[in-house]
Amino acid sequence: MKVWLSAVVVAIVLTGFAATTRAQAPAPAPAPAPAAATPAPNGLQRIAYIDVQRVLARSAAGVAAREQLEREKATMQKEMDAKRVELEKLRDEMEKKGALLTPDARRDKQEQFERKRRDAARTADDFQKELEKKESGLLQKVLQDVSGVIERVAKEKNYYLVVEKRGGGILYGSTEADLTDEIIRQYDREKAKKP
């Protein structure tokens, strides 16, 4: 019991000594702010966020990329619809004439149907991968262009840090800190100037 009590007394004395030492020590000088970032009135660095998904959905280039993908998807869908119709015809033919066919002819028709079904499934899978690859490429191009715009706007407005809203883990963001609409306008202006 005495050992425990003396340990508590030592801890209290050391805590009091550390507190008086800190109180007597001169306060450290505040670190100078970087030249490019101007502190906000409350002394904090300016921080903003961007909703990249909104930029991709609303910017002219993002909309154009989505429209191009939709056109390609429609073309692929037409081809898949033609394969589906062909499979349905073959299946209907097998159901209607199956009883009249010889066992070898029925087996040949079934194998033909299975080949065409596998071919259609492979084609659908290839189309899906192709669309994903094209979407990734188009959106990556837009994001590269947007990153330059974000950097310029952030420097012009003296932001110290700009984060992505969804990936940045932002739980709250003031509307004044949201640069998304401004980035969209600036990006669209710059894209309109380029041929």
User: Which is higher by pLDDT, 34 or 46?
Assistant: 46
Q: Which residues contact 183 (CB under 8 A, 6 or more apart)?
A: 50, 55, 146, 149, 150, 153
List the domain boundaries for the chain: 2-193
Taking residue 180's Cβ as centre, other Cβ atoms within 10 Å add up to: 19
In this prediction, residue 135 carries a pLDDT of 87
> Is the C-alpha dihedral spanning 100, 103, 108, 111 positive or negative?
positive
Report the SS3 class of residue 178: strand
The pLDDT tens digits for 62-112 are 888 889 999 999 999 999 999 999 999 988 888 888 778 888 888 888 899
Cα–Cα distances in angstroms (integers) from residue 188 to residues 56, 58, 160, in the given order = 11, 10, 24
Residue 35 pLDDT more than 50? Answer: no
Instruction: Show Cβ contacts of residue 178 under 8 Å, excluding neighbours closer than 6 positions.
Output: 48, 49, 50, 51, 165
* Mean of all residue pLDDT scores within the chain: 75
**What is the CATH code for 2-193?**
3.30.910.20
10 Å CB burial of residue 87 (0-12, 13-18, 19+) is: middle
Q: What is the pLDDT of residue 10?
A: 29
Q: Are strands 47-50 and 161-164 parallel, antiparallel or unpaired?
A: parallel
pTM: 0.57
In Å, what is the CA distance from 76 to each residue of 152, 167, 169?
39, 32, 37
Rounded distance between C-alpha atoms, residue 68 and residue 71, angstroms: 5
Token couple for 151: 């950097």
Task: Name the residue with tokens 């299975």.
Answer: 114
